[in-house]
Structures are given as structure tokens and as C-alpha cells.
Amino acid sequence: MPLVANSKLPTFDRLKQEGENVVSRDVALHQDIRELHIGLLNMMPDAALAATERQFFRLVGEANQIAQFYMHPFTLKELKRSPEAEAYVSQYYESFDQIKEQGLDALIITGANVTQPDLALEPFWKPLNKVIDWAYDNVTSTLCSCLATHAVLQFRYGKKRRHLGFKRWGVYSHSVVDRKHPLVSDVNTRFDVPHSRFNQIDREQFEAAGLHILAESDEAGVHLAASADRFRIIFFQGHPEYDTISLFKEYKREITRFVKSERADYPPFPENYFSLITEAILDEHRDVVVTAKARGAPVTGLPESIIVPNLDNTWHDTAEAVINNWIGKVYQVTNNDRKKPFQDGVNPDDPLGLKR
């Protein structure tokens, strides 16, 4: 069902140009369909702000449910942004006060750039926790992505992430652990998810927190989990929202850092992402870059026109299915009054009736 272009946010036009189902607010108001209001707390840095909007908006908009999706992006004022990004946020984003006043049916919280060894030292720590506390009392279900998962595990459950000593970076195979949970209903029992992180919450920490693990990887660890009530908080440790080229863009950025001597080593390939032919092309390009850098000569750019058309996406269908299931369950149990999280008679400690 369609996203509703309930503001002039450029992401709506961009998604419409890409073929996504987006309708105007005027059209939506004349359709007798229950709408869902979904917040996006976007904490990503300026360069990734709009791309992250598109990634999560796209997943929500592709969810095949009988609903209209009103998206409500907001951010935290404590996050430092450029004047251009501040103007963008001021023009298109809502404030947290507006979000609290109007209410939400569901909430998605993105990751963020981290500069401190302990998340509790980050400028976003206290305001993020206020959002998490408010959402738990007022929103039907909150989906936490990567860094947000780590923050909630530390804030609500006292489980701090550990540094891996390297960057977990690539596309990894995952297995469904609980095949009966509705969040993974009709999802492939084995599926891929991109990961990109230096830190991890281990299975033992999820279990010690009383959380319910739904999918994990032998290499990348737990990806998908739910709170003890099985629904009110959903945890992603990977990045199923990534576009096909997202890891390539990260790889390109790391090469630029190497050229600028911001990192000592040439970046390795994201694991399980490039084909053997693409890796061979990139190996040749690495030799050219390393030689040029050593001579102080100009560095040629990546042969993107050859590489990008040959990148595979092996995770989006499953990501779409999981979001589809999540939205469907939100639709079934949320109150018509978006200021209330559940319909009358729904047990907040077991909203989906899975613990009986």
C-alpha cells in the first residue's frame, strides 16, 4: 500500500521517481482506509540523512498491508549538523514535542556516528533515552537499527557492546531461530543481511537480558531479536535497509580515506559482496592507487560504470518481508487513537498472545 506524501519532504518525490507507490495527502483523505503513523528518528550524519530516509521509507512503503503510511521523520537537536542540514531538518522534519503531542503507531530508530568509547558519553545519549522511554509507554512497537540496538541494550538492560577489534563488514548468511514467530512468518529460513560495525552485542548478552532471538549468523552473530514480550521492541544488529550500492559507497569512502592518509592500510573488500570478477578489477585498481599515492601522483577514480551494474542484492526481499510482518502486527493491535499504543483488551506484556 502507498506512502502518503504528508509533507514536502524531497524523499517522497525521489521515491515516486523510482517507481514507489506514493499518493498525495488530498488523495489519501478521500480513501476510506485506516492509516498508520510511523516515526523515523533519524540520527545519521548529514551525508547519510536523506539516503537513510529513503531506505526506511522504501521498506515501509513496500509493506503489503491495507493501510496508508504517514511517515514522521525527526532527529535530536543535540546532534551537530551543518547549516545546510539544519535548514533541511528545520524545513522537513518534525520536533520530538510535535511527535509526542500527535502520537505514533510505530517508531523506527536509526544508527548514528559514534565518537566516544562509551555510548553514555555521546551527546545523543540522554535525549535518545528519553525517546526510548516515551516510545515504550506510548508506541505500539519500536524498531531499533544497529547503533540504536546497542544503545537500548545498554540503557534498558545494562548490556554493553564489545569492540570486535576489527570491522564486521559485508553480507552474511543468517538462519531463522524461531520459525513460529510472526515477524519471520513466510520468510526464508536462511537469508542474507549486510553488516557494517566495529562493535557487537553477543548472543549471551541478548539472552541474559531476557530477549527473544529470531535470527542469527554463524559469522556475524545475532541480527534479529525481540523484547521479552515478543513485540514492543524489535532489534536489528545488521542493516537490512541498505541499498544495493551502500557497501560499495562505504568501500569507496574508505579508499578516499586511504588516499588522504586518514587510514594506514588499503581497505579490504566487504565480505561476500563483490563477485570474483569485480574483486579482480578492484585489485588492479588498488595497485594503481597505491602506486600513484607513493609517487604523489593524482589518483584515478573507481571504474563505477563497470562495477555497479554487477552488484547483487541478496537481502532486500527478506527485509521487506520482515517489515511487512512487523507493520501487519502493528496494524492488528494498535489503537485507532494514535496516542494510545494498544486496542482495548490487548495485554501490553504479551501483545501478540505468544507467551500463553
Residues annotated as part of the active site: 146, 239, 241
Instruction: Tell me the pairing of strands 190-200 and 162-176.
Output: antiparallel
User: Hey, what amino acid is at 22?
Assistant: V
Contact 224, 211 (CB under 8 A): no
How would you class 111 by CB atoms within 10 Å of its CB: exposed for 0-12, middle for 13-18, buried for 19 or more? buried
